[in-house]
Amino acid sequence: MSTLTYILLFTFIGSLGALIGGIILLSKEKLALKISHFLSSFAAGVLLGSAFFDLLPEAVHESEELGIDVFSWTLFGIILFFLIERGIHWFHHHEEHHMHEKETKTTLPLIIIGDSMHNFIDGVIIAATFMTNIQLGIVTALAVFAHELPQEIGDFGLMLHKGLKRKKVILVNIMSAGISFIGAIGTYLIGDKIQGNIPVLLALTAGFFIYIATSDLIPEIHFEKRKGHALIESVLLLIGVLVIYASTTLLGHAH
């Protein structure tokens, strides 16, 4: 298969996590929300494993002849995504403070905008990593799938809670997931111009994955206080890390 075919196929697979999460929620909401919490633990491990065992080593390898400081760009990625998320939260609270309209009118657009932005970045990430090598792209796409599933279950639940009808929830999610293809195809089309900056994109992606795992998923895991869940969550996080470690160690990088 061509690189573009790989990009389109695995962008679809990564986006499929959103659709599966929504379908699960709409069929069995209570079960989905329970599963979502455990999937968050696994996804946190997958994201951390992808960042430290796959993306950062690849970024360092690619930057050897370019003199790019990979770790500075990783830190920049963490700060950048913090500021993006902080901006969305600020806008949310600002609107709630100054407007007297129904909460749904201010919250739902923010959920959709934030999710669409997230999906666009996912598409860029998947395309950029496939342009480096096929195995790295596959692992990254699977990591995107792993964290999209629990996140989208949560977003679906919030949309339903805010009064959005089920058919509209599915339609909104499909449209939002489709934006990842815009990011992927756009990145592929300007590939020649960004080829020398691939280590930067990989480092930013690692920063993005580290930020999601440590800022969003792990605090959510700690917040869960139900008896007997701590051990399961810890094991699932470790399994997520080990899955990526095994895939990168046993299969090796296709430099």
Domain count, the chain: 1
Tokens for 184, please give them.
């992927």
Is the pLDDT confidence value at 149 over 60?
A: yes
Is the pLDDT confidence value at 194 over 80?
A: no
pLDDT at 33: 61
pLDDT at 169: 76
- Is residue 143 classed exposed, middle or buried when 0-12, 13-18 and 19+ CB atoms within 10 A define those classes? buried
pLDDT at 185: 92
How far is the C-alpha of 163 from the C-alpha of 169, rounded, in Å? 10
**Phi-psi category of 184—alpha, beta or left, where left has phi over 0 and alpha has psi -120 to 50?**
alpha
**pTM strictly above 0.85:** no
Mean pLDDT score, 126-155: 80
Ramachandran angles phi, psi of 2, nearest 5°: -75, 165
- The domain of 218 spans 3-251
Is the pLDDT confidence value at 85 over 80?
A: no
How far is the C-alpha of 119 from the C-alpha of 142, rounded, in Å? 14
Tokens for 41, please give them.
């633990």
Question: pLDDT higher for 226 or 38?
Answer: 38
How far is the C-alpha of 45 from the C-alpha of 39, rounded, in Å? 10
Q: Which of 27-41, 158-172, 207-221 has the highest average model confidence (pLDDT)?
A: 207-221
Mean pLDDT score, 29-43: 71
> Which percentage of the chain shows pLDDT scores above 90?
9
Which residue matches tokens 């699960």? Answer: 24
Question: pLDDT higher for 175 or 153?
Answer: 175
pLDDT at 35: 67
- Is residue 54 classed exposed, middle or buried when 0-12, 13-18 and 19+ CB atoms within 10 A define those classes? buried
Mean pLDDT of the chain: 77
How far is the C-alpha of 88 from the C-alpha of 13, rounded, in Å? 27
Question: pLDDT higher for 195 or 236?
Answer: 236
Length of the chain: 255
Question: pLDDT higher for 91 or 160?
Answer: 160
Is the pLDDT confidence value at 151 over 70?
A: no
Tokens for 254, please give them.
């296709």
- Is residue 83 classed exposed, middle or buried when 0-12, 13-18 and 19+ CB atoms within 10 A define those classes? exposed
Encode pLDDT of 155-193 as tens digits: 676 676 566 777 787 788 888 888 899 989 998 988 767
Q: Residue 39: name the closest of 187, 147, 158 by CA.
A: 147
